[in-house]
Structure 1
Amino acid sequence: MTVSPALKRRLLLGGSVALLALLFLFVLLRTGPLAPVQVTVAEVKPGRFTPELFGIGTLEARHHWMLGPTAPGRLLTLQVDVGDRVRAGQLLAEMDPVDLDQRLQALDASIARASSVQAAAAAQQADARARRELALSNLRRQQELARQHFISAGALEARGQELASAEAALESARATAQAAAQDALRAKAERAALQQQRANARLIAPADAVVSAREAEPGSTVVAGQAVLRLIDPTSLWARVRLDQGRSAGLVPGLPARLLLRSRPHEPVPARVARVEWLSDSVTEERIAQLSLEQIPPGLSVGEMVEASIELPAIEDSLLLPAASLQRQGGATGVWRLQDGRLAFAPVQVGASSLDGQVQVLAGLKSGERVVVYSQKPLSADSRIQVVEQLIRPAGAARTGP
């Protein structure tokens, strides 16, 4: 039976349409919105786990001083500049003493006068004591003569009056000597206080240090407590680091750490946790730790930014999971678990994490189970997936089947 040309054209057109439909359906299922979602998977494995903490901070000087006057005044001299190394006891600056030296001279004169008064009072006391002894001796002789009726009662009373006068003079001399001693003590105390004020006008280095800041210049007026110079101990540098409170469990002094300085990003500096602050930052939810450098490299600067990695105690035989596989579904934290080629969301309880992207699994998964790590787009329980080695493949790389 012969087929008419019109029928041939219709059959050819119908076949072409069917082929195009099949081709469109194939493209739709392989690369279109109905195509399977490419994912990468990882296996839950047991292993030795070393959690780490990461934080950023700044270099600070553990020992630093702010030198300034204890009384307002004018800065007279300043003998050091920023960067100078100073020795303990070295004179760094001096305030204008104004009239302190003259007042010290006046007090020296007062002390000398008090000493002279003390000497005069001692002489008066010795003279009064001698007069009392003489009056007492005369009274005894007159009493003996009165018993023998050689003198009258009036003469005896006169000798008694002389003794009383001598005792009063002695008490007066003692009081004068005591007053002179108190005046001398007061003058010496005033001089000691004034001498301390004079010493405070001299700014002395409290220890071997480096001048980090110069806050005033000679001739300027500073108030009490204002810093004129700032000193630091260059051998006491440490890092003040802020760490996430949620991951800081187990943070204690003595843990080893590594520091990366902004000036030396490729040279890790060994360090150790020296102190963990009791007060945390409630606004940023961070804990603060001080890390001491085991060896201070040359050329560091206070205030330089650092990145710190602190090694927490190792955990043996823990189930490990890539942290990137954790997802949030319905308010729960879990992973997409792969079972017989299908997806199922499994809530998990995780513990510490490490800086290489591993997290400790406490509950919810078993060893050997496979979970989705990365996916091209958000997943659901009915998503069709295709397991690949990596989502961005090099040119010419082949996909791996599920």
Structure 2
Amino acid sequence: MKSAGSLLRRSSLALAALALLAGIAFVFLRSGPLAPVRVIVAQVERGRVSPSLFGIGTVEARRAYLIGPTVAGRVLRVLVDVGERVEAGQLLAEMDPVDLDARVASLDAAIARAASAVTASDAQRRDAQARRKVAEANAKRYEELGRQAFVSASAVEIRVQESNSAVAAVQAAEANLAGARQESSRLGAERDALVRQRANVRLVAPAAGVVTSRDAEPGSTVVAGQAVLKLVEPASLWVRTRFDQGRSAGLAVGLPARIVRRSDPAVEHPGKVARLELLSDSVTEERIAQVGFDAIPAGLSVGEMAEVTLELPPAAEGPVVSNAAIARRGAETGVWVVADGRLRFQPVRVGATGLDGRVQVIEGVSAGDRVVAYAESELSTRSRIRIVESLPERTR
């Protein structure tokens, strides 16, 4: 009786151990390392991908002006302040002219004196010309009288010498007149240069715009080329945008754009690509484009951040998969195809990518194929899978 009870207990313990081992094996196979990987499967569709480019940029001015003197000097007065709108040709600031006005007055007096010298030289020339005519007439008369032996040869020579002297006197007078005129012209040119230099102390607006910076105050000394004021044209504002080089295929001037300002994210502003920069950023691997507004929005400020979306031409119709389905195994790009409950890695060649997450597949799969869209862990060709509708915590 005791032996039968002991055998019963041992049998019960053995059955309990077997049940425990079976439970552990079941749990191990269902949720342990050997458990099938839960996946979400999607069907390859046929359609068109509308590729887009997304970038972030900063509002800048296409035309900005640094207004300052061409020579070193002291700021006499500044007539405008930051934020004021100015018109082309409006006086914005003025530099101290120092002695420029006195030098202009001195040159005016020198020019007047040169004009008097020109008048005197011209009078001397006319007098010399009159004397030459008289001397030439006397020389001709004495030469005729000399041939008739009415006067001596020496008297004829004196008259001829007087005629030659009169001619030389005319040449000298004409040279003096030319020199006086050249001096007058030189003084006039010097005065014009000084007047232009005097005009440069008046800092005027080269175009209509808005003052964005006031960098010097009256009494400050600035060097040549240093900005006293900064001016931008509000109508020339655009967004300097950076795009990922790897996704920038198709980026071109004229592409339509949607611009969203960080300060007003609820409103989209239409625009287009106005210019592509020749130099890309090799550090961040980005291409740079200038995107202009179709209409400058009210309240736009320089330096404001903006998000830009460019619409590219639609790709050709063909197989389309979710971007999440694209997987990489080593150097290969492909998708995990599910067929007859088995898993197979299929290399593919992808094309355009849309911002909605869809990718064009040029070759590798066909419409109707079933591919893994999401998996709860990394897959391999030996992985067992279990197709589910959703994954816990959307593990993807």
Tell me which interval the TM-score lies in, with the shorter structure as reference length: over 0.9
Q: What SS does the corresponding residue of 1:316 show, helix, strand or coil?
A: coil
Matched, 1:185 2:185: yes
State the distance in 2 between where 1:260 and 1:10 align: 77
Amino acid at match of 2:289: A
Report the count of equivalent residues: 394
Amino acid at match of 1:367: A
Question: Shift of the alpha carbon at 1:209?
Answer: 0.3
Corresponding position of 1:399? none
Amino acid at match of 2:132: R
Question: Shift of the alpha carbon at 1:393?
Answer: 6.6
Question: Shift of the alpha carbon at 1:281?
Answer: 2.1
Matched, 1:159 2:159: yes
Q: What SS does the corresponding residue of 1:49 show, helix, strand or coil?
A: coil
State the distance in 2 between where 1:103 and 1:207 align: 31
Corresponding position of 1:343? 343
Instruction: Report sequence identity in percent.
Output: 56
Q: Which runs of 5+ in 2 are unaligned?
A: none
Q: What SS does the corresponding residue of 2:238 show, helix, strand or coil?
A: strand
State the distance in 2 between where 1:59 and 1:365 align: 43
State the distance in 1 between where 2:15 and 2:392 align: 37
State the distance in 1 between where 2:73 and 2:283 align: 41
Amino acid at match of 1:41: V
Question: Shift of the alpha carbon at 1:242?
Answer: 1.0
1:45-101 per-position Cα deviation (integer Å, ceiling 9, x unaligned): 110211111111111111111111111111111111110100111000011111111
1:275-298 per-position Cα deviation (integer Å, ceiling 9, x unaligned): 112222223222111111112221
State the distance in 2 between where 1:320 and 1:134 align: 111
Corresponding position of 2:203? 203
CA root-mean-square deviation: 1.8
State the distance in 1 between where 2:389 and 2:64 align: 55
State the distance in 1 between where 2:393 and 2:164 align: 123
Q: What SS does the corresponding residue of 1:116 show, helix, strand or coil?
A: helix
TM superposition score normalised by structure 1: 0.94
Corresponding position of 2:127? 127
State the distance in 1 between where 2:250 and 2:8 align: 82
Corresponding position of 2:307? 307
Amino acid at match of 2:256: P
Question: Shift of the alpha carbon at 1:392?
Answer: 2.9
Matched, 1:93 2:93: yes
Question: Shift of the alpha carbon at 1:127?
Answer: 0.3
Q: What SS does the corresponding residue of 2:26 show, helix, strand or coil?
A: helix
Range moving further from structure 2, 272-281 or 224-233 = 272-281
Corresponding position of 1:397? none
Amino acid at match of 1:234: P
Corresponding position of 2:48? 48
Matched, 1:232 2:229: no
State the distance in 1 between where 2:380 and 2:185 align: 93
Range moving further from structure 2, 189-198 or 167-176 = 189-198
Q: How does 1:135-284 map to 2 (within 5 A)?
A: 135-284=135-284
TM superposition score normalised by structure 2: 0.95
State the distance in 2 between where 1:216 and 1:390 align: 65
1:226-278 per-position Cα deviation (integer Å, ceiling 9, x unaligned): 11111011111111111122221211111111112110122222111111122
State the distance in 1 between where 2:356 and 2:106 align: 76
Amino acid at match of 2:16: S
Amino acid at match of 2:348: V
Question: In 1, are the aligned partners of 2:48 and 2:360 still within 8 Å (CA)?
Answer: no
Corresponding position of 1:71? 71
1:322-369 per-position Cα deviation (integer Å, ceiling 9, x unaligned): 112222212211121112111111111112211111111122212211
State the distance in 1 between where 2:13 and 2:82 align: 91
Corresponding position of 2:58? 58
1:200-237 per-position Cα deviation (integer Å, ceiling 9, x unaligned): 11110011100011111111111111111110111111
Question: In 1, are the aligned partners of 2:239 and 2:290 still within 8 Å (CA)?
Answer: yes
State the distance in 2 between where 1:125 and 1:393 align: 109
Matched, 1:80 2:80: yes
Question: Shift of the alpha carbon at 1:115?
Answer: 0.7
Question: Shift of the alpha carbon at 1:4?
Answer: 4.2
Corresponding position of 1:104? 104
State the distance in 2 between where 1:307 and 1:38 align: 37
Corresponding position of 1:288? 288
1:26-46 per-position Cα deviation (integer Å, ceiling 9, x unaligned): 222222222211111222211
Amino acid at match of 2:365: L
State the distance in 2 between where 1:253 and 1:42 align: 37
Matched, 1:388 2:382: no
Question: Shift of the alpha carbon at 1:195?
Answer: 1.2
State the distance in 1 between where 2:139 and 2:393 align: 131
Question: Shift of the alpha carbon at 1:383?
Answer: 0.8
Q: What SS does the corresponding residue of 2:145 show, helix, strand or coil?
A: helix
State the distance in 1 between where 2:390 and 2:109 align: 94
Q: After TM superposition, which residue ranges in structure 1, 4 or more long, deviate above 6 angstroms? A: none
Amino acid at match of 2:18: A
Q: Which runs of 5+ in 1 are unaligned?
A: 395-402
Question: In 1, are the aligned partners of 2:75 and 2:219 still within 8 Å (CA)?
Answer: yes
Question: In 1, are the aligned partners of 2:38 and 2:376 still within 8 Å (CA)?
Answer: yes
Question: Shift of the alpha carbon at 1:390?
Answer: 2.0
Question: Shift of the alpha carbon at 1:157?
Answer: 1.1
State the distance in 2 between where 1:166 and 1:389 align: 122
Amino acid at match of 1:334: G
Range moving further from structure 2, 384-393 or 296-305 = 384-393
State the distance in 1 between where 2:74 and 2:272 align: 45
